[in-house]
Structure 1
Amino acid sequence: MPIIISIVIPIFNAQPYLRKCLDSLISKKLENTIEIILVNDGSDDGSKEIAIEYYHSYNNIQFLNQDNQGVFSARNNGLVHVRGEYVIFLDADDYLVEGAIEHLIRLVRKKSYDIVFFDVKLIGQKSLFKTKPYLPYYEIGSSISKTMFLNNNAIAGYMGGKLIRTMVAKQALSIISYKDIRIELYEDCYFLFCVAIYCKTALTINKEMYVYRVHKRSVTQREMPPQQVIEKLRVSKSYFEELERSFAIDFDKNNLQSLRKINRIVDSSIFIQTAKNSSYIKNIYKAWLLDSRFVNLARIIIYISTIGKIKK
């Protein structure tokens, strides 16, 4: 029986959450139609041992090991080994709800799509303070890049909640020299933009099937000094600028507008980090001009209302 869905899980020090993640995928009736690819990215907390335990216990699990190179490299290393018709990228501290895989398999057996968007549920103590990832609503005939990056003030730049045709994901990978790239901020957005270029068909499911765990050990919640964040953002921006110069990309109007919007958001993030060091109002205002989402306006309101005591 052909493999329909591959689930790629990059693993780095996720020991408290990894079993829950893997158990959400284990099913006797699905073992011939899905594969699980575990990519250990230099974990040193026992995660590697858990991954190897599951690898030896289930025939449909692959295990890959690499030195710590970051989630971007780990995901793409896993993608190279994917054999399924579709691929889902699942973080090791997240999980899928019961029945999610079966639901997705039924959908793509009825009709094939290049990408399927499904909703994300936030859990955890810090989830109230985290913006829920944007669920793009696809309309037949629309450009996929427009759907993901232009139809709303937000962008679909989070890897969770997406089922991608493997052929499309590997086409995206073909324009990314991922072994030479160390991108740590906006890495999901970078890959998904490359995916959108090659997508022709899509479907949106307004159903929460991906559970995103928000916690202090999460990569996205980890505190870094503002200057370090600025440096990483500038690295990310350089890769987006390189994409714009690339002849490998079909830059129709929507692709170009999408990429320029992403670049504005990265620039906005740089201004926000700069504001933590100096000229707060001035830099947050510049950030808001580039990225007019309410969250940036809220930063100004909070700062003024607390007489400068709170810098979000």
Structure 2
Amino acid sequence: MNKKKLSIIIPVYNCELYIGKLLNQLDQLDKDLVEIIIVNDGSTDNSYNILKNFQNKISNLNIITQTNHGVSYTRNVGIKHSSGDFIFFIDSDDEVIISSLTKLIDSLQTYEVDLVIFGLIDRFLGRKKVEDIYSCVYSNELNKNEFLKNFGEYLNNSILYSPCNKLYRRDIIINNNIEFETHLVLGEDILFNLSYFKYCERVKFIDQYVYIYNHYYDRKNTGSTQYLNNELEIFVTVLSNIELFLENEKVIHINRNNLNRFYIKRMNSLVSSLFSKTCTLNAKEKKLQIKKICQTSIFKNACLASIPNLEKKNSILKFFYKKNQVHILYYIFKFF
């Protein structure tokens, strides 16, 4: 019986300070069970030279070089060059817990599932103290219907968005032409996952932390931290796709309360981003944007709904959103 193999896909763009640490970790994995595919996305620093040095030492490392196209295009290239049974996406400035990943690769040999979801640690670096925030973890195996009935809960627990806390079956991706949207810099991950979830008949959750997502305080204007003028429109597109997906799967009603809870959180995120260092809007423009958020139908409907067990802070904000209290919301998010 052939052993199941894992393809690790890593997009690299100007990560000379981080990529070496990650590759030293991955070098410890069983090379008969793992291939490492790095797509150098037109790096202008010393990343490529570092990669070439590692290629001489790591026999299962495959380096592809291209002009700069962005992370989504780059991941798609990695998929096309992969040959493993499962795919694992890693960002080049992140880390893995090698002991947990090794156990997971061994366990793959006994799994008969379409998707594996594991724990992720958000690590905040660059200040005086390193802070780790652990994602929610589960330990069970579900069929598609069971998984989708709990979709809203998983969404609120922040385990569905990222592609980096999951293992995907390569044949499902290839056979169904699933790709990352290359025209987006926000929301492309969950859209990829929604496309993939359609074909998942069995989902395996493991209560192990495998991935460390590094947030560097001194790294500016990455896709996840830079304010985007069309951020609201992107969010609405993503959330509308979630609604449509759950509607088509006939599980929208059972997830409604958790979806509304999630939408209040997205409103908080959108308003909060107006006060990030990269947002150049003036006070009047920020208030207009807050008003626009409050009046967006998907958010407005969530605010009008009764949401059981909503956190006290979000209940208060929900009230102000519902009443279009733009000035109050402006000062809450500016000073608190």
Q: CA RMSD in A?
A: 4.3
Alignment partners' CA distance in 1, 2:207 and 2:236: 32
- The residue number in structure 2 matching 1:205 is 206
On the 8 A contact 2:22/2:92 being kept in 1, the answer is yes
In structure 2, relative to structure 1, the CA distance for the partners of 1:307 and 1:236 (3 Å cut) is closer
TM-score, normalisation: structure 1 = 0.76
1:285, CA displacement in angstroms? 5.3
Aligned residue pairs, count: 301
In structure 2, relative to structure 1, the CA distance for the partners of 1:308 and 1:240 (3 Å cut) is closer
Alignment partners' CA distance in 1, 2:60 and 2:252: 37
* Helix, strand or coil at the partner of 2:271: helix
1:117, CA displacement in angstroms? 1.0
- The residue number in structure 2 matching 1:278 is 287
On the 8 A contact 1:288/1:296 being kept in 2, the answer is no
Amino acid at match of 2:250: K
In structure 2, relative to structure 1, the CA distance for the partners of 1:50 and 1:39 (3 Å cut) is same
On the 8 A contact 1:285/1:300 being kept in 2, the answer is no
Percent pairwise identity: 21
On the 8 A contact 2:38/2:64 being kept in 1, the answer is yes
1:106, CA displacement in angstroms? 2.1
1:7, CA displacement in angstroms? 0.5
* Helix, strand or coil at the partner of 1:24: helix
TM-score, normalisation: structure 2 = 0.71
- Select 1:253's aligned residue among 239, 250, 255: 250
- The residue number in structure 1 matching 2:74 is 74
Structure 1 residue ranges without an equivalent (≥5):
none
1:112, CA displacement in angstroms? 2.1
- The residue number in structure 2 matching 1:108 is 108
Alignment partners' CA distance in 2, 1:306 and 1:244: 29
On the 8 A contact 1:230/1:273 being kept in 2, the answer is no
- Whether 2:173 is the aligned partner of 1:169: answer yes
1:212, CA displacement in angstroms? 1.2
Structure showing greater Rg: 2
Matches within 5 A, 1:198-237: 198-216=199-217, 217=219, 219-224=222-227, 229-231=228-230, 234=233
Matches within 5 A, 1:53-202: 53-125=53-125, 133=135, 135=137, 140-143=142-145, 146=148, 149-152=151-154, 153-155=156-158, 156-172=160-176, 174-176=177-179, 181-202=182-203
1:87, CA displacement in angstroms? 1.0
Structure 2 residue ranges without an equivalent (≥5):
276-285, 319-326
* Helix, strand or coil at the partner of 2:216: coil
More displaced stretch, 133-142 vs 195-204 = 133-142
- The residue number in structure 2 matching 1:16 is 17
Alignment partners' CA distance in 2, 1:171 and 1:257: 30
In structure 2, relative to structure 1, the CA distance for the partners of 1:280 and 1:121 (3 Å cut) is same
Alignment partners' CA distance in 2, 1:81 and 1:205: 28
Alignment partners' CA distance in 1, 2:186 and 2:83: 28
Alignment partners' CA distance in 1, 2:18 and 2:312: 30
Alignment partners' CA distance in 1, 2:253 and 2:333: 40
Amino acid at match of 2:86: Y
Amino acid at match of 2:226: E
- The residue number in structure 2 matching 1:4 is 5
On the 8 A contact 1:144/1:202 being kept in 2, the answer is no
- Whether 2:35 is the aligned partner of 1:26: answer no
On the 8 A contact 1:145/1:193 being kept in 2, the answer is no
